[in-house]
Structure 1
């Protein structure tokens, strides 16, 4: 193997924590090398060492046969290592050219050579076979285009090793496939890539070899051709997971309707939908990206406007004019973007869980009963299984799975009994997914009702008691029991049925 990068015995400790111990990684030129592990396994720490952000306590980094020690990020970039973080580092008010050359602008005498920078940027995107409008601000481009600009920025620095940290987390399937085409093209140009992803199907689609970490330690490496999903999961979590999804309960004929959407029309000329959510069930919202799943949920709770809306909570007609009114009615939402919409990441776990409930903790007009707040927070953390040193730990330091649990804990603390989970396991590892699934089932056993919006077909089939399948804003079918299969969901998601059209008209 033509090794371009080798890490040997990398060890790193922080106060009270050994983050990495004896890590090995060997990457060849023109190879896509997957780095796998649960959240907290040490992937990000290892990549920060490779990119000069952290310094290892022990171990060596060998680049092109030469032992290197990177003093900082800029030193690593100068050595040909580029990293595309999951959180973009682009300036939204600047265009693609200005972002790529920020801090190292080309000049002609004392003036900026804008023409040269534009030609250089155009050449990079031509190399990537990506069409980018170089004149518009970044904020006007799609997430996928911003991702490609991050890659172009790294390549403009002549990176020969490219680190891609969860690059598909916010991409649609077609955008992800475009990214994979770019990665395949870069392979032919000899660029080595380290690919971090929680989606194991992506690993088998685009990667050549895999290194697995667990609890900060090296587990092993393997060629993609020599392994399968079951083996990788076992390497990642240290045990076999025969079935990620807990068993579904038997349907209850006496389950009462807690949420009845008798008519919902988002746009004046759009379809009219209706559905019922029952106590103790998980109702899946399935469909292709853009099918109207999330839009329907947001219109129900008043976060988005609706042309027609007739909703009942526990048999009582409700207006639900805005999310605050919906929360008062007992509806909580775990949004798709937990970091920007579900949490205040600079706040502690305690503050995030308590933020909707300060009124009940008020001891006097300007004081909070901190003892009562702490007692309640500790109990709810234990109940949902939040793993953290203390309740005062800052939420930004938690893994994705634990952040999801904090959002859930907030709504349970507010006594919401109808929960909307929008992409509940996006961006979290396989072990944490299983914990979220078990928690959801535990909640439904206690009588909570859940709407689960998910783009992952196995998740929809494995977790839902009933499934509402959306297509172009319309509920095409509601499946239950043995009707819930991958084929049935995809058939309804991609094909209009006369029955659903008639059903939609009948509610107008």
Structure 2
């Protein structure tokens, strides 16, 4: 027998100005049930969960909790009814302890003074509920992203949450970390906590979900079991079949020119004597475990981080070591791992964000060509199918996938010869992924080169012409497209890690013997 919903959005509508972003959607959340929200970036998922969380109020329809209509006028009202949200950008204070973060905004006191014993007790009880053994006095900033995610869940449960909304909780997690998170979700399901789960990883849905609400353009197009075939889920999301999830094409027929050359690049223990090349018309993938040095390598090439020694050349010319402006002048563009913190000015418009890299090069008599810049930005936004209300919309208001396309648009407009991509499709739905891949194809067809770092190994294998594998800050090997398999990549990825662990063990044994 199906349990009655603990939370329902019934025929809700939400408008921003003349734009209807949610149109008559009904979603039910039941105790002990994981309700998945699925849809392309911009389909309305974030708006829907913000209505559940009290951030937005519907313009039409109603919110029902425990069978009674309610008005969720703000977040505190939602929390008082047992609704808690774990946003993709974690709401934690890095310098405060785990315990302080868990009770933040609800600090217990005694005689007007902070009751630290009660703070620790509350935190330990919350952590125990999800099976996390952690020193509650540890600063949150010292934890990895997976443990921070679990601290957020403990924080939500400490408020006696009965309904937990998880927005892209696995976007930045490794496979093992995702397994640990899903173990917690199973425990919460057994404890009759109702959950809403958003993910762009289709393979996770059947594993963790019970049912799926599929959104398209702000409307509910289907309610299906979580066991529904992935191809059918894609068709429902985008309104068409996507037969090739990694549509790599090699359309370049120009000269076989080395565009990027890196010679013996080193930076402390992070990068160790790395040399590589990338040619016109080529996608070079870089694989490896978390901490292997992949992001550090791209940031060094792009001038974002200094390095100790080595040379970076573009089209045979050394790139001066004068930071990002020198790299941009040389034709290097970087789409960073954290687009919100490092790739975008969130309060600026789509127009401004697309145009930042070309303001200087298109200026006339020292003055910015704002009209021309606006026209070029609009054309680029149309070319990459950025969903927006207009070119002046703040980029912060775009969905994650459309924000990522805005960063792509900047470097495409700048005509970057060398495009460095760090986790280019993290948090991006399957339809937008294909559009990003087609943008990669367009860059290489025009004679550019792309160097792509991704933790999504099928993505690396599907979109790369060659695969370089990093381990322990070094290049552990290179594989051709034909020879690159998941097993071969992983064998190279753990090689230096295993060797370093063995060296550490031998050193410890020697030290013990000496004593």
Structure 2 Cα separation of the partners of residues 276 and 111 of structure 1: 62
Structure 1 range deviating more: 399-408 or 63-72: 63-72
C-alpha distance in structure 2 between counterparts of 1:316 and 1:124, whole Å: 57
8 Å contact kept, 2:43–2:215: yes
Whether contact under 8 Å (1:301, 1:321) holds in the other structure is: no
Question: For 1:148 and 1:301, how far apart are their aligned partners in 2?
Answer: 33
Q: Report if the CA contact (8 A) 2:11-2:24 is conserved.
A: yes
Which residue of the partner structure matches residue 390 of structure 1? 390
Other-structure match for 2:350: 349
- Alpha-carbon contact 1:300-1:320 (below 8 Å) kept: no
Deviation at 1:370, TM superposition (A): 2.4
* Aligned counterpart, 1:105: 107
Range moving further from structure 2, 125-134 or 79-88: 125-134
How far does the alpha carbon of each residue in 1:395-437 deviate from its partner, in whole angstroms, 9 at most, with x for none?
1111222222221222233332100011111111111111101
SS at match of 1:359: coil
Aligned to 1:435: 435
SS in 1 for 2:164: strand
What is the CA–CA distance in structure 2 between the aligned matches of 1:264 and 1:427, rounded to whole Å?
Answer: 31
Q: Distance in 2 between matches of 1:372 and 1:406?
A: 17
**C-alpha distance in 2 between matches for 1:237 and 1:384:** 16
Residue matched to 2:162? 160
Match in the other structure for 2:445: 445
CA–CA distance in structure 2, aligned partners of residues 466 and 234 of structure 1: 31
1:221 counterpart residue number: 223
Counterpart of 1:230 in structure 2 is 231
Moved more, 308-317 or 15-24: 308-317
Cα 1:268/1:60, change in 2 over 3 Å: closer
1:114 is matched with 116
* Aligned 1:112-191 pairs, distance under 5 A: 112-191=114-193
Call closer, same or farther: CA 1:393–1:142 in 2, change over 3 Å: same
Q: Is the 8 A contact 1:282 1:450 kept in 2?
A: yes
Structure 1 residue 361: Cα displacement: 4.4
TM-score w.r.t. structure 2 length? 0.90
1:463 equivalent to 2:466? Answer: no
Distance (Å, rounded) in 1 between the aligned partners of 2:319 and 2:100:
50
Q: CA deviation at 1:36?
A: 0.9
Change over 3 Å in CA distance of 1:311–1:62 after alignment to 2: closer
Structure 2: segments with no counterpart, 5+ residues = 498-515
**RMSD (Å) for aligned C-alpha atoms:** 2.4
8 Å Cα contact 1:418-1:448 kept in structure 2: yes
Aligned to 1:291: 292
2:341 aligned with 1:340, yes or no? yes
Offset at residue 14 of structure 1 (A): 2.7
- Judging changes above 3 Å, is the alpha-carbon distance between structure 1 residues 339 and 108 closer, same or farther for their aligned structure 2 residues? same
CA distance in 2, matches of 1:232, 1:116: 47
Which residue is 1:401 aligned to?
Answer: 401
1:19 aligns with 2:21: yes
User: Post-superposition shift, 1:253?
Assistant: 9.3
User: What secondary structure, in the 3-state scheme, does the structure 1 residue paired with 2:359 have?
Assistant: helix
1:313 aligns to what?
314
User: In structure 2, what is the Cα distance between the partners aligned to 1:410 and 1:253?
Assistant: 24
Q: Do the aligned partners of residues 251 and 71 (structure 1) sit closer, same or farther apart at CA in structure 2, a change above 3 Å counting?
A: closer
Mapping for residues 49-60 of structure 1, pairs under 5 Å: 49-60=51-62
Matching residue of 1:240? 241
- On the 8 A contact 1:95/1:135 being kept in 2, the answer is yes
CA distance in 2, matches of 1:417, 1:86: 32
Farther off after superposition, 41-50 or 475-484: 475-484
Q: CA deviation at 1:129?
A: 1.4
Compute the displacement of 1:458 (Å).
1.5
- Does the CA contact (< 8 Å) of 1:361 and 1:370 recur in 2? no
Moved more, 128-137 or 47-56: 128-137
Mapped partners of 2:375, 2:26: distance in 1: 44
Given the superposition, is the C-alpha separation of residues 124 and 269 from structure 1 closer, same or farther in structure 2, using an over 3 Å criterion? closer
Task: Say whether the 8 Å CA contact 1:233–1:241 is kept in structure 2.
Answer: yes
Aligned partners of 1:375 and 1:208: how far apart in 2? 46
- Conserved in 1, the CA contact under 8 Å of 2:319 and 2:326? no
Of stretches 199-208 and 430-439 in structure 1, the one that deviates more from structure 2 is 199-208
